């Protein structure tokens, strides 16, 4: 049985969060990330290209773990199913969306920002949540306080928004952090300008830093 993609994200420690504008860049993006040691990406539904990109990767790069982000409605859940998304995340908690994802067997991490959000998510059975927007929501100290009453439940988080290569260590040093969301790894302008070698370099740097942090070397 294939590993749960969300478990793979936790093992690697970082997931690239991608707003891709042109489906023609899908394969070059996936190859650049994989070459850098990140054979995984959260393709966000912030662009019209997202569903087509997922379909291309399903067909042409079946071993690449292409998931969906910014899943805000039932239409997006259906698009995940129709286009082969292997996992999905959302910036907030919506019981209709989480139920729909479960109905189709889609590994899903809802978003939280407050203890109320986390109460709803854990009550629904989720033990992995996105923390968004991580930077302006108070950073690692804020999440440490929010998570404290839930630690006995084994909840883990993927903080996204405002995380960088330089601040990864502030997050990953905490045991309740599964991985960080890396919006800096492949920006829309990088793909527009064909800077795929730079994407590979940033992916490699992120993977190496995550490994070093977890090994206590950074």
User: Of 115, 107, 106, 165, which Cα lies nearest the Cα of 138?
Assistant: 115
User: Of 26, 79, 27, which Cα lies nearest the Cα of 51?
Assistant: 79
Six-digit token string for 192: 């527009």
How far from chain centre, in Å, is Cα 177? Answer: 12
Six-digit token string for 76: 């997006």
Choosing from 52, 86, 130, 202, the catalytic residue is: 130
Instruction: Report the SS3 class of residue 121.
Output: helix
How far from chain centre, in Å, is Cα 42? Answer: 5
Is 182:16 a contact under the CB 8 Å cutoff? Answer: yes
Is 134:159 a contact under the CB 8 Å cutoff? Answer: yes
Task: For residue 130, indicate whether it is catalytic.
Answer: yes
Choosing from 42, 52, 86, 202, the catalytic residue is: 42
Task: For residue 42, indicate whether it is catalytic.
Answer: yes
Half-sphere exposure of 192 (CA within 13 A, CB side): 5
Alpha-carbon Rg for the chain, nearest whole angstrom, is: 16
Catalytic residues: 42, 130
């Amino acid at each position: 049985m294939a590993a749960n993609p969300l478990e793979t994200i936790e093992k690697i420690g970082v997931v690239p969060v991608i707003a891709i504008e042109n489906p023609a860049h899908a394969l070059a993006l996936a190859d650049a990330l994989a070459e850098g040691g990140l054979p995984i990406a959260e393709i966000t539904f912030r662009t019209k290209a997202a569903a087509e990109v997922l379909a291309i990767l399903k067909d042409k790069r079946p071993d690449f773990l292409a998931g969906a982000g910014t899943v805000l409605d039932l239409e997006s859940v259906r698009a995940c199913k129709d286009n082969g998304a292997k996992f999905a995340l959302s910036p907030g908690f919506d019981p209709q969306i989480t139920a729909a994802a479960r109905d189709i067997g889609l590994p899903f991490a809802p978003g939280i920002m407050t203890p109320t959000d986390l109460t709803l998510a854990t009550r629904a059975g989720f033990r992995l949540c996105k923390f968004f927007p991580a930077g302006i929501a108070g950073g690692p100290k804020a999440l440490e306080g929010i998570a404290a009453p839930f630690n006995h439940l084994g909840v883990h988080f993927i903080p996204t928004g405002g995380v960088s290569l330089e601040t990864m260590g502030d997050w990953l040093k905490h045991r309740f952090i599964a991985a960080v969301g890396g919006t800096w790894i492949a920006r829309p302008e990088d793909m527009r300008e064909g800077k795929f070698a730079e994407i590979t370099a940033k992916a490699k740097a992120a993977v190496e830093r995550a490994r070093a942090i977890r090994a206590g070397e950074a």
